[in-house]
Amino acid sequence: MAADTARPLDANKTDGELELDRVFALQKKAYAAAPFISYDQRMASLDKIIRLTEANEQKFIDAINADFGNRARHETIMSEIVITVSGAKLAKKNLKKWIRPRGVATPAHMLPAKSRLEPQPLGVIGIISPWNYPIQLALTPVIAALAAGNRVMIKPSELTPHASEAMRAAIASEFDETVCAVITGGVETGQAFTETPFDHLLFTGSTPVGIRVAQAAAKNLTPVTLELGGKSPVIIDDSADTAKAATSIAQGKMLNAGQTCIAPDYVLASPDKVDAVAEDIANAARTLYPEIDTTADYTSIISDRHFARLKTLVEEARDRGAKIIEVGSANALHPQRKLPLTLVVDPPEDIGIMKEEIFGPILPILSAKTQDDAISRINEGDRPLALYWFGNDRVARDRVLEKTVSGGVTVNDVLWHFAQENLPFGGVGKSGVGAYHGETGFETFSHMKPVFYQSKFAGTALLHPPYTEKTDKILSFLRKIL
């Protein structure tokens, strides 16, 4: 069966591809020998995730810092360590409930039969994790996959080699490779990973790459969960406290230097408030990062290529006459790739920052005359991964929630819906396919198998052929009561 074997051997494969094939074959064999992992084994795996995350905290901090040039230590603790451990603890707390078969109502005419959904492990799960949160965005889906009783293979980004190696060593210290393993390698290994016939594949990254991942997975009919991105809007309602909103927006945009898939991508405010909003966000940024150019609290851009791209976006906006407000040195200490928070007020619609996901500390602030204008502006684009609304008018809030479609929403703050493990995390449309976190993650990596238990008192034999007038009467009765 094509879906149960690794890709054909090829003498031209890289070391990473050969390792991929070897571990995949081992995990498929292990799954075939033991397709159901017990509750106790799953709990032990979750304990291992907690233990390796906490035991390697400083190694992860140092590794990520080395990959970025500078990654704020507190950001790594909050976004990588705390979220990962809390996710594993939530899974442990709820696993006994999640793993139980769930009763399903059986129609009266089919009684006394019973119906249930029985969660079943899918098999071998592939996870392609990104560079921006290289530990958390790898291990959080691993938690869900292990809780569901699967075996897991992780392909981390080649842009964070130190973090990838630290995670590989940490996982190898706790897990047998037939249960969980990290496969490192470059672009060729990543491509081969997408073409491997996993029982489910989760990818976190950009929409263009996500499309290619889905196309590669489709060749094996591998089901996918795609956590992508897009342009996540902020609406500042006229009822909002703009100064308070500005602090949340500045913090959310500057966390990880804006290299966050759910970071605010642009702000919508009334024309008479746009300048005040820009000033408030700039002031908030200066308070949060008084020495933005030199402080270790502010994270660097991941690479020279990404840094150059962001600088080009800013210069294009400047050349087109947009108002630019920079919080920090325009020189941005290039050796450390620290880009100042750059506010772009009412830029032209046809420039780069308005057409593509920014993924950096650049924030357009746009005029929207009315709430309807703001809603229309959002709905004209692709459906975003996140939406943020600030204000105190409940009617206005609920109208925005009703009239827009986004992967998730935080009201009167930004980002925090992601950290609520009981809320599913995922996109919609071009911002993603499927979701995970909490029970949703457990179900994503499970086959919720429907099982119908027929009763020995069933009357279905009355509907067997040869069909008679009696059959017609029974069918007529059933049609009346259904």
Active site residues: 227, 261
Q: Vertex 455, ends 449 and 461: CA angle to 5°?
A: 110
How many Å separate Cα 349 from the centre of its chain? Answer: 28
Four-point Cα dihedral 279, 282, 287, 292, nearest 10: -160
Report which secondary-structure segment, H or E, holds 394.
helix 394-403
Gap between the Cα atoms of 265 and 357, Å rounded: 7
Gap between the Cα atoms of 214 and 225, Å rounded: 9
CB 301 within 8 A of CB 360: yes
Q: Which value, in Å, is the radius of gyration of the alpha carbons in the chain? A: 26
CB 205 within 8 A of CB 183: no
Gap between the Cα atoms of 13 and 16, Å rounded: 8
Nearest Cα residue to 70 out of 330, 297, 360: 297
**Angle between helix 57-68 and helix 161-174 axes, rounded to 10 deg:** 160
Gap between the Cα atoms of 6 and 26, Å rounded: 10
* Cβ neighbours of 72 (radius 10 Å): 24
